[in-house]
């Protein structure tokens, strides 16, 4: 039996740059920053008072009553997943049938793999306030399904009618990429024809920010929000927290061809490794990340020289950015054009790998690499970066890297269909 | 004392807030689950909100007997007496 090719047929996102993929991509190509000051009262005591907040509030596109029972991370995941589903040319759910049924597909051949780095922490915090102030009887009966980390995937599975399995990887900032990697395995193993894969995160709240700030992981460039996320720049001082979700429809190539679906790109290969080095520090030589890239390259069957573009993890932290470059150079060489779109949309943690995969896929599809803004004073030994301006170029294949606290590494290679 | 009509109106407000039920659809003979599409978790929210609004206690083992809006109105009316 030959292993199926897996292709990308749908994209969806709601991000700090836009409420959908088109507006997000347009903002990326224009080099716009989605980072703004946190003007909310709760933020004023924090050392970090900037973040990349959603461009379009879920309440603008979703029913009020439905939102009452969704954590913010679930709401954005549902928005992204429905966009991706529609973008793939699949029929929306109707009153009496799930989306899978309405699309005439076998629900038992549809899976969902969507994870989050932190889960429904905003629900946890809000309900804990209610518990403290008003007692246990006032705690919402929706609390548990809202805060459980599999909630976003479960909601998507429910609304699309997925019956081949609903899964939620959790690997911190590698989650979104891992979700796509696991989905590749699911389709190759013949367990599904379509997988809706992605990541979601919505933790712009005092406690998560205070926690990351205590680790000294975040930028405190509070006076210059748009300049705060600056991967590979010497003046970088940490990441900027972003929120949102990205989702992709992955499909067995024959299945996509049979229904005449538009194909954005092929998911050519994936590699996942663990550092075994430290809980939160990256291996300074980037060894674990490099092994993930090697595995993805071998899995893809492509040559190093085919990989001409890398959407890097590069979060704008002092140690991580250059460790990744060392790993990239060691495995692929020095011919690639890098970018870190986090310079614009911040770090979406568990959604990062999904959103950045979308950027990688669109770079291949449209033949243009989105820029890395704020790279005014690059580090020595850096590879070629599409600094400041988008770079039109033919991209036959590209790599998306993601690394997460816990020592998780996930590398994805996409290629022209 | 609150009249049955006033209690029904109060429940309609709660049902709209919690479950998005159109207040015009709320009448004494309507079943919470079959007619108004209120699921079990939302029913818990309705009960807690009704306790607060009408200053009554609705024990958990009583909730299963409140099939219709009228059942709830009667219970609240009696509890307020």
pLDDT confidence of residue A304: 97
What does each C-alpha distance from A323 to A10, A169, A315 come to in angstroms?
A: 33, 25, 11
pLDDT confidence of residue A174: 98
Helix (H, G, I), strand (E, B) or coil at A244: strand
Residues A84 and A214 in one domain: yes
Asked, for residue A89, whether it belongs to a domain, the answer is: yes
Residues A225 and A77 in one domain: yes
Residues A243 and A354 in one domain: no
Residue B39: active-site member: yes
Asked, for residue A260, whether it belongs to a domain, the answer is: yes
On chain A, the residues whose CB falls within 8 A of the CB of B13 are none
CB contact under 8 A, A65 and B19: yes
Positions of chain A with pLDDT under 70 = 1-2
Q: State both tokens at B18.
A: 């919690």
**Of A63, A66, A140, which is closest to B45 when you measure between CB atoms?**
A140
**Of B19, B20, B41, which is closest to A141 when you measure between CB atoms?**
B41
Helix (H, G, I), strand (E, B) or coil at B71: helix
A372: distance to nearest CA of chain B, Å? Answer: 45
Query: Pick from A265, A295, A317: which residue ends a domain?
Result: A265
Return the CATH number at A159: 3.40.47.10
Return the CATH number at B13: 1.10.1200.10
What does each C-alpha distance from A268 to A18, A126, A299, A403 come to in angstroms?
A: 28, 42, 7, 19
On chain A, the residues whose CB falls within 8 A of the CB of B48 are 137-138
Residues A295 and A247 in one domain: no
Residues A154 and A20 in one domain: yes
Residues A386 and A404 in one domain: yes
Asked, for residue A2, whether it belongs to a domain, the answer is: no
Domain that holds residue A191: 7-265
For chain B, what is the domain count? 1
Minimal-distance CA residue of chain A relative to B14:
A65
Residue A303 burial class via C-beta count within 10 angstroms: exposed 0-12, middle 13-18, buried 19 and up: exposed
Residues A261 and A279 in one domain: no
Residues A240 and A327 in one domain: no
Answer yes or no: is the ipTM higher than 0.85. Answer: yes
Residues A162 and A253 in one domain: yes
CB contact under 8 A, A141 and B18: no
Asked, for residue A173, whether it belongs to a domain, the answer is: yes
- Confidence check: pLDDT of B1 > 80: no
Minimal-distance CA residue of chain A relative to B22:
A65
CB contact under 8 A, B20 and A63: yes
Q: Provide DSSP, A389-408.
A: S-EE---SEEEEEEEETTTE
What pTM, to 2 d.p., does this model score? 0.96
pLDDT confidence of residue A2: 63
Residues A47 and A170 in one domain: yes
For chain A, what is the domain count? 2
Question: Which residue stretches of B1-81 are H helix?
Answer: 4-19, 40-54, 60-63, 69-80
In DSSP terms, which residues pair with A404 in a beta bridge?
A408
Start-to-end CA span in chain B (Å)? 7
pLDDT in tens, B49-76: 999 999 999 999 999 999 999 999 999 9
**Helices B69-80 and B4-19: angle between axes, nearest 10 degrees:** 120
On chain A, the residues whose CB falls within 8 A of the CB of B45 are 140-142
On chain A, the residues whose CB falls within 8 A of the CB of B42 are 141
Domain that holds residue B29: 4-80
Query: Pick from A231, A265, A299: which residue ends a domain?
Result: A265
Residues A106 and A155 in one domain: yes
Helix (H, G, I), strand (E, B) or coil at A175: helix
């Amino acid at each position: 039996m030959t292993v199926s090719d897996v292709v990308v047929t749908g994209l969806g996102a709601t991000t700090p740059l836009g409420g959908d993929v088109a507006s997000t991509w347009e903002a990326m190509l224009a080099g716009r920053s989605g980072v703004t000051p946190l003007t909310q009262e709760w933020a004023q005591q924090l050392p970090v008072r900037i973040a990349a907040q959603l461009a379009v509030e879920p309440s603008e596109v979703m029913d009020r009553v439905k939102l009452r029972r969704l954590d913010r991370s679930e709401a954005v995941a549902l928005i992204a997943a429905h966009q991706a589903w529609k973008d793939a040319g699949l029929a929306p759910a109707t009153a009496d049938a799930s989306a899978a049924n309405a699309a005439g597909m076998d629900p038992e051949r549809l899976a969902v793999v969507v994870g989050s780095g932190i889960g429904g922490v905003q629900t946890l915090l809000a309900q804990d306030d209610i518990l403290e102030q008003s007692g246990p009887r006032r705690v919402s009966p929706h609390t548990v399904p809202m805060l459980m980390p599999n909630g976003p995937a479960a909601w998507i599975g429910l609304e699309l009618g997925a019956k081949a399995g609903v899964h939620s990887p959790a690997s911190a900032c590698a989650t979104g990429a891992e979700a796509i990697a696991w989905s590749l395995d699911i389709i190759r193993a013949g367990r599904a024809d379509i997988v809706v894969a992605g990541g979601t995160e919505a933790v712009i709240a005092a406690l998560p920010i205070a926690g990351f700030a205590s680790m000294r992981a975040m930028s405190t460039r509070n006076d210059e929000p748009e300049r705060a996320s600056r991967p590979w720049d010497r003046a970088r001082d940490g990441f900027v927290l972003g929120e949102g979700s990205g989702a992709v429809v992955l499909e067995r190539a024959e299945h996509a061809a049979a229904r005449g679906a538009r194909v954005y790109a092929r998911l050519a290969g994936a590699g996942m490794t663990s550092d075994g080095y430290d809980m939160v520090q990256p291996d300074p030589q980037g060894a674990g990340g490099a092994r993930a890239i090697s595995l993805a390259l071998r899995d893809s069957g492509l040559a190093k020289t085919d990989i001409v573009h890398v959407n890097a993890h590069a979060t704008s932290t002092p140690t991580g950015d250059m460790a990744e470059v060392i790993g990239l150079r060691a495995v692929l060489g020095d011919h690639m054009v890098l970018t870190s779109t986090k310079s614009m949309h911040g770090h979406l943690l568990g959604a990062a790998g999904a959103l950045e995969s979308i950027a990688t896929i669109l770079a291949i599809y449209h033949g243009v690499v989105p820029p890395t803004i704020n790279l005014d004073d690059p580090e020595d030994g850096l590879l070629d970066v599409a600094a400041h301006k988008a770079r039109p170029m033919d991209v036959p294949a590209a790599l998306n890297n993601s690394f997460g606290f816990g020592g998780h590494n996930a590398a994805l290679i996409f290629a022209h269909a | 004392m609150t009249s049955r009509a006033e209690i029904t109106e109060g429940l309609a407000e709660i049902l709209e807030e919690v479950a998005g039920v159109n207040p015009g659809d709320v009448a004494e003979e309507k079943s919470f689950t079959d007619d108004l599409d209120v699921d079990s978790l939302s029913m818990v929210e309705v009960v807690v909100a009704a306790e607060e609004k009408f200053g009554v206690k609705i024990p958990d083992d009583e909730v299963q007997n409140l099939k219709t809006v009228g059942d709830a109105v009667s219970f609240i009316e009696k509890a307020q007496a």
